[in-house]
A and B are shown apart, each in its own frame.
Chain A
Amino acid sequence: MSAPRVVILDYGSGNVRSAVRAVARAGAEVELTADRDAALRADGLVVPGVGAFAACMDGLTAIGGGDIIAERVAAGRPVLAICVGHQVLFTDGIEHGEQAKGCGVWPGTVERLHAVRLPHMGWNVVQPPPGSAAFAGVERQRFYFVHSYGVRADSIRLHPELADKITWADHEGDRFVAAVEDGPVWSTQFHPEKSGDAGRQLIANWLGRL
């Protein structure tokens, strides 16, 4: 069997080099590109993202990324979204009082975490749903987070069918969405590409389903 082909969506987001290398070492043939056809054709699409929600959406919009994601989601084609890439899959985001529209794949608002020590930076534990495919073999491992915003448990109005697809984490008692696995579409608030061997396993779990 040949290696799955993965496109990492290149829209000017920070350190994508690590994502490219991490997905390649987990066993994929990786291409970093903003090309629409390549992104639609690939077996898997990785949507990275760092920085602010609105800036990330602007970057995505400039390359038609929202449409690419929507098409793949509609067609049931695999996506793995990371950090702010994960955040922009929700309805909207509020940073510094400004509301920005997200891709709207899932209902939920990205907002500042209710914690004193921010950014939430470092290796934290997660609570995956029973039978999680994403965390198979690494349910009890720590993953690397670096963010101040997220989808908070207090604010999210979950579709009942989404409830068993969410992995939770908490920071100073504020519970937020650490990951979503919704059929072929997975997303993580943490950085699997920076989470050592635990992150490699999660990426390999995703590649194994392509």
Chain B
Amino acid sequence: MTVAVRVIPCLDVHGGRVVKGVNFVDLRDAGDPVELGSVYDAEGADELTFLDISASVEGRETTLEVVRRTAETVFIPLTVGGGVSSVADVDTLLRAGADKVAINTGAIHRPEVIGEITRRFGNQVLVLSVDARRSPDQPSGFEVTTHGGRKSAGLDAIEWARRGVDLGVGEILLNSMDADGTTSGFDLDMIAAVRAVVDVPLIASGGAGRAEDFPPAVDAGADAVLAASVFHFGTLRVADVKAALAAAGYPVRTPVGAGGGHS
């Protein structure tokens, strides 16, 4: 492996503001995703993900403005997800400055949209975001959920990931809804099960609490690790995660002059 394991902070954005609590001491405005994105960039984040959880048209417009402002100041890849269901949605986000777009419910409702998007923009722009949990109702033991894990989509999560890749997605973002927010570690079985059926890059998400939680996710088959609250609350710095990955023998990126400070 020569490609560095990517460490990706994720920001939930609602109406242009970060909604999950953020506990950074040096920020002028802890709710501004652009400022927070810059901090993570300076700390050595390899990529940023914004999930737009706005339900309204106005909220979406504000999020687009956040993407535009971020693209002005942050020079690492930016993935934006939330409410994406058409080629036009992707076009709008890419024009605003997103490098990749994550699709979730939109693809569950109409899987053909994956091919429509990737034929136009290439498969490298589209990430299939899978919110999954353990369930005896599906053959693999994992099911896809919607509505923040509250509803079952009636799909086998492993089969859905495989199908998404067949339809054209260039990457999978696998979020364990059981582990999400528990800080008790990633769902390693779920990561391994998806890894066994897809060759595209796999981002593991959900459950990270300590720096030592991250290397096992890569052992299980993840190419990248994504987390929200441990970074926002300052429990962990990006550099802590990279140090743990490096100690486990994985390549990581140490950026020019990254001091790890909140400057």
The chain A residues found within 8 Å of chain B, CB to CB, are: 14-15, 17-18, 21-22, 25, 50-52, 116-125, 138, 141-142, 144-148, 169-171, 191, 193-201
Q: Which residues of chain A have C-beta atoms less than 8 A from B57's C-beta?
A: none
Q: Which residues of chain A have C-beta atoms less than 8 A from B71's C-beta?
A: 15, 17-18, 21
Q: Give chain B's interface secondary structure class.
A: loop
Given A17-B97, A50-B124, A124-B3, 10 further pairs, Cβ under 8 A: A15-B97, A18-B99, A121-B201, A122-B4, A123-B3, A146-B77, A194-B77, A195-B75, A196-B75, A198-B255
Alpha-carbon distance between A169 and B251 when the two chains are bound, in angstroms:
15
22 A-B contact pairs sorted by A residue (CB < 8 Å): A14-B121, A15-B99, A17-B71, A18-B75, A21-B72, A22-B75, A118-B199, A119-B170, A120-B3, A121-B3, A121-B124, A122-B201, A122-B224, A146-B77, A171-B3, A193-B75, A194-B75, A195-B75, A196-B255, A197-B255, A198-B255, A200-B75
Given contacts A118-B199, A198-B256, are A17 and B46 in contact (CB under 8 A)? no
B200 touches A17 (CB 8 A): no
Give the shortest distance, in Å, between A208 (CB) and chain B (any CB): 17
The chain B residues found within 8 Å of chain A, CB to CB, are: 2-6, 41, 46, 68, 71-72, 75-77, 94-99, 120-125, 170-171, 199-201, 223-224, 253, 255-257
Q: Which residues of chain B have C-beta atoms less than 8 A from A195's C-beta?
A: 75-76
Alpha-carbon distance between A181 and B202 when the two chains are bound, in angstroms:
33
Given contacts A117-B200, A124-B2, are A52 and B255 in contact (CB under 8 A)? no
Residue among B4, B123, B224, B253 having the largest count of chain A Cβ atoms under 10 Å: B253
B200 touches A119 (CB 8 A): yes
Q: Which residues of chain B have C-beta atoms less than 8 A from A22's C-beta?
A: 75
- Number of residue pairs A-B, CB distance < 8 angstroms: 108
Which of A25, A51, A117, A120 sits near B122, CB closer than 8 Å?
Answer: A51
Task: Return the 9 tightest CB-CB contacts between A and B, nearest first.
Answer: A51-B122, A197-B256, A122-B3, A123-B253, A123-B4, A17-B97, A142-B253, A146-B124, A121-B201
Q: Which residues of chain A have C-beta atoms less than 8 A from B46's C-beta?
A: 122-123
B123 touches A144 (CB 8 A): no
A116 touches B199 (CB 8 A): yes
Give the shortest distance, in Å, between A69 (CB) and chain B (any CB): 21
A148 touches B124 (CB 8 A): yes
Given contacts A15-B97, A52-B122, are A117 and B223 in contact (CB under 8 A)? yes
Give the shortest distance, in Å, between A12 (CB) and chain B (any CB): 10
Give the shortest distance, in Å, between A113 (CB) and chain B (any CB): 12
Give the shortest distance, in Å, between B158 (CB) and chain A (any CB): 18
